[in-house]
Amino acid sequence: MSRPAAEVRRVIKAYDVRGLVGAEIDEGFVADVGAAFAGMLRDEGTKSVVVGYDMRESSPTLAAAFAEGVTGQGFDVIRIGLASTDQLYFASGMLDCPGAMFTASHNPATYNGIKLCRAKAKPVGEDTGLAGIRETVIAGVPSYHGARGQIRDRDVLADYAHFLHSLVDVHGLRALRVAVDAGNGMAGHTAPAVLGTIEGLELLPLFFELDGSFPNHEANPLEPANLVDLQRYVLDTGADIGLAFDGDADRCFVIDEHGDPVSPSAVTALVADRELAREPGATVIHNLITSRAVPELIAQRGGTALRTRVGHSYIKALMAQTGAIFGGEHSAHYYFRDFWGADSGMLAGLHVLAALGEQSRPLSELMSEYQCYAASDEMNFRVNDAPACVDAVVKSFESQTVSLDHLDGVTVDLGDGAWFNLRTSNTEPLLRLNVEARTADDVDRIVGQAAERIAANA
C-alpha cells in the first residue's frame, strides 16, 4: 500500500523515524518501515534483525508490528524486550545483525520512533538507507512470497553489563555513593545491572520506575531544569557523584559532590585522557562546539584531535574512516571504537566512576583539571533572516577577530582562548550560539554583544 509522500517524509527524518503516536506513527506504518528495512537488507547477507524498545506505553505494540513487517519479508527477529539504545547497539554488535530500537529518546510521551542500525551497530541515516526506506514506504513495499521469518526472544542485559565492565576496570575502587537519576527512563532498567553490581559502589536510585509518561520531569538532562532534582538529591544524600540519563539512556550527564553540573566537554576530556593512556597516539574526535580544552589535552597527551560538525552522523562516519578510539559531543553523546563506534552514556559514566574511584580527591577537584575555560550554554534565537543576523554579528566582532571558519555555521576565533560559533537549526528558524572564553565575564561580554546584534537584525 502506498502512503502520502508528505506524511512519510515528516516522520522518516534524516537520522531516525519519529513522530506523534496515532497521528503520524501507528502499527501499519511501522510494519511498512520494518518490511522496507528488511528489503533494504536482502542483498547484504543478513538473516536476522534484533529489536528492542523503551518504556513508552506504545513501544511494545509498535515493536511487535515492526517485527511482523520484518518477518513478512522472510527475516527472523530477535526480541530483546525492554532496552536502552546502547543496549540495542550492544546486541547488534554481539549478534552481528541489524537492529531497530523503539524510542523517542527525550521527546514527550506522545511521541515514539525508531533508531535503525546495520550489523555491528553501523548507523542508518539519510545517506545510508533511510532515504531508500522512505521512498519504499511511499511507493508501497513490494510483496514477498517466500516463507515467513521466525521470532525468538533473547535476554542480553547481563551480557551487556559484563561487556561494559570488560571495557572499564572497576575493580578495587574506593567506596563511592553514586546518585543516579533515570528520569523514569531506561537507565532504571540498565543501571542496576551495570552499576549495582560494582563492589564498593552504593547505588542511590532516583526515579527508576519505568514510566513513559515521565511523571517527575522530562527525561532530557540537557535542559538545566531537569537536573534540579538530582542536584538536590546529591546534596541530601551526601553522594560523591550524580549521573543523569535521558529517556533511552544513551546520554549521560554528571553532577559533582557540590551539586554542580560537570561540562560534557570536561567529561570528553577525561575519557580522552584515559583512552589515550591505554592507547598512546590514538585519534580522538570532538565536535566544533566542544571546549578547546579537549583538543589541547589530546595534543598534550600525544594524540590526534579531529574536529567535526555537530551531529552524531558526522562523528560516527569519521570514527569509521579513521579508526578513532573515542569521540565526544558537548550534547553528552560519547562514542567508543570498542563499542562498535556507537555511543553509550553508561560506558562514559563508568569511565568517570573509575577515574573518581582510583584516586582520593572529590569529583570537583578531579574535573578541575579538564575545565580550563568558561562557557555559555547553547542559546537559541528565533529569527526571520538568519544570514543577515550572522553577517551582523560577525561584522560587529571584525576588529577583534583572529580567524573565521565555516565548517558548521561560522566559528569566530577572538584570540586568547575566546571564540563563538553561530549556526542555524536544520528544522526550525533558529540561530544557535555557543561561546567560550577564559573568564565568565568575557563570556558574558561576547554573549551580550552577539545577542544585541541578533536582536537588531532578527
Query: In this structure, what are the phi and psi dihedrals at residue 421, rounded to the nearest 5 degrees?
Result: -125, 135
Alpha helices in 42-143 (DSSP H): 59-71, 85-95, 130-139
Count of CB atoms situated within 10 Å of the CB of 150: 11
Cell of 381: 534565537
Cβ within 8 Å of residue 300, ≥6 positions away: none
Contact 379, 124 (CB under 8 A): no
Query: Which of 66, 105, 67 has the alpha carbon at shortest distance from 85?
Result: 105
Query: Which of 64, 94, 54, 56 has the alpha carbon at shortest distance from 190?
Result: 54
Cell of 347: 560506558
CA–CA distance, 139 with 23 (Å, rounded to integer) = 20
Count of CB atoms situated within 10 Å of the CB of 43: 7
105 is catalytic: yes
CA–CA distance, 339 with 336 (Å, rounded to integer) = 5
CA–CA distance, 59 with 3 (Å, rounded to integer) = 22
CA–CA distance, 409 with 419 (Å, rounded to integer) = 13
What is residue 139's three-state secondary structure?
helix
- Helix 345-357 to helix 85-95 angle (10° resolution) is 100
Q: Which of 58, 84, 92, 105 is an active site residue?
A: 105
How crowded is the C-beta side of 348, counted as CA atoms within 13 Å? Answer: 32
Q: In what order do the strands lie in the sheet with 326-328?
A: 304-308, 283-287, 326-328, 334-336
Query: Which of 289, 257, 117 has the alpha carbon at shortest distance from 177?
Result: 257
Q: Residue 101: in which H helix or E strand, if any? A: strand 99-102
- The residue with cell 533494504 is 40
- Active-site positions read 105
